[in-house]
Amino acid sequence: MSLPPEVKTYRDLIAYQYAQLIGVAAGIDDHGFIFSKFYKLQAGEIEMSSLTKEDKYQLQEGVASCIYCGSEDDIGFDHIIPRSTGGPDTISNQVPACQSCNSSKGDRDVIDWFRNQSCPIPRLVWGKYLKHLYEHRKTEGTLDESLPNDERNRWEGAEVTRTVSKRIRKRYRDSSSETPISTGRSEPVNRSLSEFGAE
C-alpha cells in the first residue's frame, strides 16, 4: 500500500507502519483505528514495545521453522538488517530462517527483499525492523527529517502479514474476556496489545 500524505518524516513512517502492525495484532483492519494509533504513536501518547518483548515472543513461540517460508530444513538465523549495512549481531536483529531464504535475501534489507516476494512481511520481522529503524534514527537524531522519495517508494507495496498465530489469537481472546463488554472495544484491544508488545 502507498503511504498517506500525513506521513512526512521518519518518525511518521515508523508510527504509521507500527500502527499497521497494531491493527494486524488486534485483528482490526479499519482505517479509523489505524489512524488513531498512528496519531498516538506520532505524538508519543503510546510507544512501541521494547525489542526484548519481541525476543520473548520469539522464544515463547519456539520458532523451529523459517519465519519467511515455513520450511523446517536447514534452519539458521537471518539478520533482518544485514550486518554489512550496520545491523547488530544480536538476537533482536535475527529471526530463524532456512538456508534457501537466507541466501535469497542475501545482503538486502528485508523491505527491499520482500518487494520481490509474493507474500507479506511476517509480523515479527516487521516489528523488529521498525524498532531497529527507530533506535537508529533516534541515535542519529534524524527521526524528524523529512522522508525522501526513494524511502517513500521503498515502502510501496510492503505489507505486514494478516495472519496471527493461534497463540496470539488465544491471548487476545482471553484478555478481552476479562473486560466487561459494556466498556467498549477500545479497552480490551489496548490491554491485549500489550501481550504482543504494542502498548
- Which positions lie near Zn ion, rule CB under 5 A? 66, 68-69, 71, 98, 101
Closest to Zn ion by CB, 38 vs 114, is 114
Count other Cβ atoms within 10 Å, centred on residue 8: 15
Closest to Zn ion by CB, 18 vs 68, is 68
Q: How far is the CB of 71 from Zn ion (least distance, A)?
A: 5
- Tell me which H or E stretch contains 103: helix 99-105
Closest to Zn ion by CB, 53 vs 123, is 123
In whole angstroms, what separates CA 134 from the centre of its chain? 12
As given in the structure block, the three cell numbers for residue 5 are 500524505
Reported as half-sphere exposure (CB side, CA atoms, 13 A), residue 59 has a value of 8
Q: How far is the CB of 129 from Zn ion (least distance, A)?
A: 17
Closest to Zn ion by CB, 22 vs 67, is 67
Query: Quick one: which of 101, 138, 140 has its CA closest to 14?
Result: 138
Reduce the DSSP state of residue 82 to 3 states and report it.
Answer: coil
Q: How far is the CB of 3 from Zn ion (least distance, A)?
A: 28
Q: How far is the CB of 154 from Zn ion (least distance, A)?
A: 22
